Amino acid sequence: MPRPLEQRFARAGYVFAGGSALHLTDHLRRGQDSVTEELYWAGNVALIVQVVIVTLVVVRDRRAPIAAAAGGFPLALGFFAAHWLPAWSALSDPVWQIDSWVWLSYLASTLEIVGALMVGVVGLAIVRDRDRDRDRPGRLAPTA
């Protein structure tokens, strides 16, 4: 039976996958020309990282927590900077400047940020939990 932390990690992965899918759908709905070329490519790199993280989480790969901890926080920060800050660079796409179905853009962006934070937080908790288990007194160190 999975431990509660592992169950939370799986749920976080599904929230992140759902938020990512909704965000991608929103961008496809708006069209490629709705963002700058720089943001288009940054978004594609981010999408590759998202797919790797979600895949590792869903298949319960042992590397999933470290990937989620390493990728979740920077992705959340990038999504926040692109969509929730006033225009600051070619990587900006503020949600309040979107012309149609604004509610969908707000929802998609929020869910993606929340999902990225969730996998990052729970992934980090699992990594720390594993470190504590490995460093417990009385446990034999692994041999080479």
Work out the average pLDDT over 62-74. Answer: 98
Residue at 37 is within a domain: yes
pLDDT above 70 covers a percentage of the chain that reads: 92
Domain-embedded: residue 140? no
Q: Is residue 105 part of a domain?
A: yes
How far apart CA 126 and CA 65 sit, in angstroms, is 6
Q: How far apart are CA 39 and CA 121, in angstroms?
A: 26
Among the listed ranges 14-18, 113-117, 126-130, which one has the minimum average pLDDT value?
126-130
* 108 CA to centre of own chain: 13
Place of tokens 């989480």: 57
Query: Could you tell me the pLDDT band of residue 98, with boundaries at 50, 70 and 90?
Result: confident
Q: How far is CA 52 from the centre of its chain?
A: 10
pLDDT for residue 139 is more than 80: no
CA distance linking residue 35 with residue 62, whole number of Å: 36
Mean pLDDT of the chain: 91
Q: Which residue has the tokens 């991608």?
A: 24
Largest CA distance in the chain: 62
Question: pTM of the predicted model, to two decimals?
Answer: 0.85
**Domain housing 26:** 4-134
Per the CB < 8 A criterion, the answer to whether 103 and 49 are in contact is no
Amino acid symbol at 97: Q
- Judge whether 83 and 108 are in contact, CB under 8 Å: no
Provide, rounded to the nearest whole percent, the portion of the chain with pLDDT above 90.
75
What confidence category does residue 134 fall into, taking pLDDT thresholds of 50, 70 and 90? confident
Is residue 107 a part of any domain in this protein? yes
Where does the pLDDT of residue 1 fall: very low under 50, low under 70, confident under 90, or very high at 90 and above?
very low
Q: Three-state secondary structure along 29-54? A: HHCHHHCCHHHHHHHHHHHHHHHHHH
Kindly state whether residue 142 falls inside one of the protein's structural domains.
no
Q: How many domains does the chain have?
A: 1
- Higher-pLDDT residue of 135 and 124 is 124
